[in-house]
Amino acid sequence: MDGSAMRTMKLNKVFTLLEPGPVVLVTTHDGKQGNVMTISWTMVLDFTPRFAITTGEWNYSYRALKKTRECVIAIPTADMLDTVVGVGTCSGADTDKFAKFGLTPLPGRIVKAPLIRECAANIECRVVEIVRRHDIVVLKAVAAHQAPSRKEQRTLHAVGDGTFIVDGRRLNRRRQMAVKIPEGI
């Protein structure tokens, strides 16, 4: 098994992938082909886990998301910055982004939207509700996979001005935070 192999991840830990606020890749499958978009506007809603993402008609992927009510949130790492930027600056309307950026689609366990082999983790999601007046899509994770033996695990944080911050040091306050950490995390 190579170092980037995906393993099943427990659903109760999935919120820890999105809580730090990384830029993510969101895949969809419209019935004919897969597509992927870069999204920085995400939020944890619940430990169960539920998430929100902001998207709408301005993203080509939105119509597949709306139709299939499924997607995959993939977590790219620091070494994938140019892929993140490239995916975010062209459209699935005229581009096969998996081919263009050398991303390998893998079948999910539950949803038809593809996992991305090159990412550190992939979260299979179903749409719970689209809150249209705020362009908020509420998602529920139904399966998740990670590549824990992958060497690069640092994620990227989009600033919104064309710069990106790479994860730096990790500081441990588990003891002080104990009352707030869900059981088993």
Question: Interacting stretch for a copy of itself, rule CB under 8 A, among 15-23, 66-74, 97-105, 106-114?
Answer: 15-23
Among 4, 54, 68, 95, binds a copy of itself (CB under 8 A): 54
Q: Which two tokens stand for residue 96?
A: 């096969």
Check binding of 48 to a copy of itself (CB under 8 A): no
SS3 141: strand
Tell me: does residue 162 bind a copy of itself (CB under 8 A): yes
Task: Name which of 46 and 96 has its Cβ closer to a copy of itself.
Answer: 46
* Minimal distance, residue 95 CB to a copy of itself, in Å: 14
Cis peptide before 20 (omega within 30 of 0): no
Q: Which is nearer to a copy of itself, 57 or 109 (CB)?
A: 57
Q: Verify binding: residue 132, a copy of itself, rule CB under 8 A.
A: no
Q: Note whether 113 binds a copy of itself by CB under 8 A.
A: no
Residue 86's Cβ-count burial label (10 Å; 0-12, 13-18, 19+) is middle
Nearer to a copy of itself, 44 or 142 (CB): 44
The span of 1-9, 26-34, 43-51, 115-123 binding a copy of itself (CB under 8 A) equals 43-51
Q: Buried b / exposed e across 15-46, counting CB within 10 Å, b at 16+?
A: bebbeeebbbbbbbbbeeebbbbbbbebebbe
Distance from C-alpha of 49 to C-alpha of 72, rounded to nearest angstrom: 14
The answer to the question of residue 88 lying near a copy of itself (CB under 8 A) is yes
Instruction: Identify which of 42, 40, 53, 36 has the alpha carbon closest to the alpha carbon of residue 87.
Output: 36
Q: Quick one: 5 or 159, whose CB is closer to a copy of itself?
A: 159
